[in-house]
Amino acid sequence: MNDTTKKPRGFAAISPERQKEIASQGGRAAHAGGKAHQFTPEEARAAAAARGDRKPKA
């Protein structure tokens, strides 16, 4: 193949809207199947504290 330009493959070749749809379906399926992680308030606080000042509070 002599073509020097690379074309996106796989998930990268899909439109951003379609990528969002697919990711959303995966998230819903994970929650429905009980496989998704649910943060407890303590875990959320620990994650926020570990984040430090990297992200400003909204």
47 close to 39: Cβ distance less than 8 angstroms: yes
Cα three-residue angle 33-36-37, rounded to 5 degrees: 145
Q: Is the model more confident about 53 or about 10?
A: 10
The model carries a pTM of: 0.51
Please state, in angstroms and rounded to a whole number, the distance separating the CA atoms of residues 52 and 10: 35
pLDDT digits over 16-56, tens only? 999 999 999 999 999 899 888 888 999 989 988 888 756 55
The residue written with tokens 């620990």 in the block is: 46
